[in-house]
Chains A and B, each alone.
Chain A
Amino acid sequence: MKENGAKKEFQIPSRMPEVQKASARVLSFLKPLRLNEGALFDVRLSLEEAVINAIKYGHCLDRGLRVRVVVAYDPKKITLTVEDQGEGFDPKKVEDCTKKYNLAKPSGRGVYLIHQLMDKVRYNAKGNRLEMVKFLKRRPYGN
């Protein structure tokens, strides 16, 4: 790992095939951390869910709009930021997908998973920028 960490920023078009390309770029950038499979899964899933939401809900699948992705790490944490050009949304309006009456609904699990898999999650006031933090631990992440 570089002593003080590193940061990478890029933008992607609002197309679903770009989702996996974005996560591949992020995971490649995080390689020096030597994360274990569990941590890689959490980071990848959280990033992809955030990018999917940005494309689907933030941009309403408008291919002309671009999603901004920032990934940074330091000795203590990984920070992922996903920002869209949309109007933003109110995360308080997201229903709890684990309630009995929501269990059989086909959608609504992406944001919930992000909150469960990452250590800190916060939106900007407008609701179009999501910041997710994963703290690094000596074990079990093996970095």
Chain B
Amino acid sequence: MKRITIGNALSVPVFAAVAALCIAPLAILFAYSFFSVSFVAIIKDPTFKNYARIAGSSTYRWLIFKAFLSGAGIAAITAIIGYPVAWFIAKRVTIYKSALLTLLLVPLYTGDLVRIFAWRVLLGAEGVLNSLLMWIGLVDKPIDALLFSPLATHIVLAYNYLPFMVIGLWLAFEALDDRLLEAAQDLGAGSRSAFVRVTLPLTMPGLIAGALMVFVMVVGDYLTPQLVGGASGITIISAINDLFGTAFDWPLGSAIAWTMLAILALFFALAAIVISRSTLGKAMAGGEA
């Protein structure tokens, strides 16, 4: 038996599982996005009505825009916080490297719910932070705006997804050859110029990979805005959720879902092009080219 036959045979169940549990459901979702609903029955006559409704509704347009805006914003915030952390783990520590990486990932394994619960305890009106501030006399009455606000949502989102950004950046920093920086210095570059012209371009693939991961997870996050966002917690994802639940309009929900998927796919395609053109991307693709 040839090795390629084994490779193909091994991949068949994986292809089958993803096709059955991911691609087939999304295909049916796509079909539903052209149906319509009348009272409690779904009418299977193809129509573009749902997409027209999304395009014509300023609420849905705003929610979709808000989702991507949040995604981009959190990606930028985590990049700024995570960049020094990734550099530090890759370049400044040796013995503690794996400990620092593990410590970074541990909060991820506590689960979304527990993390959100912890932030509610921390930020609530009668919560830990407010009671601490009042106890030490910094404020007279609790700051209500801490919890159930867009600010709270964004703090928790940044907290949740920072590790993904750091991992992406860390991989890029590990691949960065320090001698290039020495060469830049020998050629007279200052630390700022060396950073802008050597470090930043070479870590760009990691930055893009990290940003993309954070972006897609923030766009798709359902629990965080729901549980700490209060009135601001209505997102396009929660709108999809409602259309499949209480509002019972599966076709419209499907159309919104596919609008989101199409926009996300556009971002993936762009990121894939940028990464594959970089040196790191070429090294990772390796044997394929």
Do A and B bind? no
